[in-house]
Chains A and B, each alone.
Chain A
């Protein structure tokens, strides 16, 4: 007797015929409750007649086993197993262009709903989310520690081999090329522009107050440690500056 190939649904949800499921019903309900709890949910899901305009116009549907119509239907019909399954892979196919949202006659935003599902995947520490986001860690490191999402030193021929052999058509050291940009804020290599120390410290307050650091810790503990070390250092620098500034003002 041959064994049937395991489908993705069986892997993540279990055998639909069996009464036992690897994911407890309570967990599925908790995940869906988290998605629904975001106040954007009701704004972005108003109904669905399965017209498929969203999928017809979706760039990701050209290349992946992905359909925004399916995502909307899963949420609209509260198909908890299907939602969980879609959160393993499909939600990460979306290119976030919002063409679906612009075109939906119901005013749904499948792209926006997918963001709520991505946030929930992170909150619940899904392995699939961790795997998908691993290559994105350079962007997260840069953004959370500096306030810039991209820096000149991230664009190298090694990292983007498919962009061609030269990052610049003029062969010169990066720092020199950056100095030749006529905007003084851009004479940098480690950040896209020079970021004021106060700005970074304010951003850290925002990360802490809004739970972004908790998200990061859930998804990548090592990256969280690196980033919090950088934050501590910059905060100390800021405290030092404030003390020096106060001393100077006292001298005046």
Chain B
């Protein structure tokens, strides 16, 4: 009997049942077969061959017309930019007056990720609010454990987005002033999925309405639904030209691989942005568009479609899977096939997984050391952000220093500056903040209302 093993690749395939047989193709035959497959399937069309695709926003507008929900609109004051999604539909991306829906993994583990985003917004004079009245989306826990359910996910979504809607009142500004910008890819995918289920299920709307009513979080007695669920990478995408105008460090010698995040473009794929001018429209446009605009060389690689190996539960308790997948399917390919100087991502779990899991590879003779950063961290770096104070590169396990050297950044001098800054804080000196700390509490203990003048 033939065992399901290809000795030339050293891979063993499982999960196909006892009837599985090796095809025993020669290397040439295998290459021919693979190239045929790549011509056919390594394309955007692989995602668009569906019969039953609907734009859930059509149901949303109908429900609003029937008086059942209120839609939080992306209005002119949010200075929206239109983009095209997978099927060529329009999506409105707000560019200012943004409410930061933070990511627990980014804030807890990669703090330079949100800090770089806010720094870029300061550079571009964008209005925003970063406040304490928000929860995680709770979807990491749900996908990892199964604790939670569609009602809890929906109630959390509606609560947090309602808070975004009313948050400006604490500054004496009107409701709907700020529009939510979601930082985490899993939150983004989860919220879009939940919005879709809310549009389809009257029962789910009824149940969540009772909960939101109890919390005092209905608008005119109705559920509040966002017109668009927007990921921060989409904001970067539409702002990439303006960001590139502020670039002060040449990135043309940098070879970049992009890791597109599953929950950003495989969950509710019809809402992901595609652009025919970005890798011929065959890859999700976010991050790739930005890195190209910054002049770096984006290198395609054969496992671009694979996940990172995060697995939600696996990163905690099945780490052999996570690190093996991250190293063998992503990092190894990026280094050996793409000869990359860095890997860029746009989601919390991916950056963590791909960055942190390289160190252990040394134990298996796979001592790769590929810098892994979020798109906004790289953009901030080449626009002159401090590598430690803003980009917070010291939290990264991979060798961000080699990337900085390639970019001509004297990271040792910057590190010394940061260490001096730490001493200053330790001695009770002033902290450098990206915004007025008084703005972060909008109600409850510690709230001290401050009035913000409308800038427009």
Contact = CB atoms under 8 A, between A and B. Distances in A.
Interface residues of A, number: 97
Nearest to B102: A193
A187 B425 CA distance: 12
A148 B107 CA distance: 10
B437 A184 contact: yes
B454 interface: no
B321 A63 contact: yes
Nearest to A181: B111
Interface in B387-424: 388-390, 392-397, 415, 418-419, 421-422
B99 interface: no
A150 interface: yes
A231 B451 CA distance: 33
Interface in B200-229: 200-201, 203-204, 210-211, 214-215, 217
Interface stretch (B65-73, B263-271, B287-295, B337-345): B263-271
A169 B269 CA distance: 37
Interface string B263-282: 10111010000000000000
B108 to A, nearest CB: 4
A180 B418 contact: yes
A152 B108 contact: yes
Interface stretch (B76-84, B232-240, B311-319): B311-319
Interface string B417-450: 0110110011000011111010011111100000
A209 B15 contact: no
A38 interface: yes
B132 A185 contact: yes
A135 B265 CA distance: 29
Interface in A171-195: 172, 176-187, 191-195
Contact of A152 (B109, B397, B425): B109
Interface stretch (B24-32, B135-143, B173-181, B371-379): B135-143
Contacts of A150: 104-105, 108-109, 140
Interface in A205-249: 205-207, 209-212, 215-216, 219, 241
Nearest to A58: B15
Which of A55, A164, A166 has most chain B Cβ within 10 Å?
Answer: A164
Interface residues of B, number: 116
B15 A98 contact: no
A84 interface: no
Given A119-B149, A176-B426, A107 B434 contact: no
Contacts, number: 318
B94 interface: no
A43 B418 contact: no
Interface string A132-159: 1101101110010001111110110000
Interface in B118-166: 118-119, 130-136, 138, 140-152, 155-156, 159, 163
Contact of A59 (B103, B159, B329, B426): B329
Nearest to A194: B132
A71 B443 CA distance: 47
B201 A39 contact: yes
A32 interface: no
B392 A181 contact: yes
Given A152-B108, A180-B422, A206-B159, A139 B307 contact: no
A96 B114 contact: no
Contacts of B156: 203, 206
B389 A182 contact: yes
Contacts of B136: 143, 147-149, 192
Contact of B443 (A59, A136, A172, A198): A198
A170 B321 contact: no
A66 B305 contact: no
Contact of A160 (B148, B356, B442): B356
Contact of A63 (B14, B310, B317): B14
A116 to B, nearest CB: 9
B321 A39 contact: no
Given A58-B15, A183-B130, A198 B309 contact: no
Contacts of B359: 162-164
Contacts of A147: 135-136
Contacts of B356: 160, 163-164
B49 interface: yes
B313 A177 contact: no
A127 interface: no
A97 B265 CA distance: 10
A118 to B, nearest CB: 3
Contact of B15 (A65, A99, A101, A196): A65
A25 interface: no
Contact of A39 (B14, B46, B204): B204
A33 interface: no
A129 to B, nearest CB: 7
B325 interface: yes
B108 A132 contact: no
B440 A184 contact: yes
A211 B263 contact: no
A23 interface: no
B132 A199 contact: yes
B266 A98 contact: yes
A149 B307 contact: no
The 7 closest A-B pairs by CB, nearest first: A118-B146, A147-B135, A192-B108, A164-B359, A135-B317, A95-B311, A97-B307
Given A59-B311, A61-B15, A98-B262, 5 more contacts: A39-B203, A64-B321, A168-B394, A192-B109, A211-B152
30 contacts: A40-B197, A55-B15, A59-B329, A62-B325, A64-B321, A65-B15, A99-B307, A118-B145, A122-B146, A132-B317, A143-B141, A149-B105, A150-B109, A152-B108, A155-B108, A162-B319, A162-B323, A167-B395, A177-B394, A183-B107, A183-B433, A184-B440, A185-B107, A192-B104, A193-B102, A196-B131, A199-B135, A203-B156, A212-B147, A241-B445
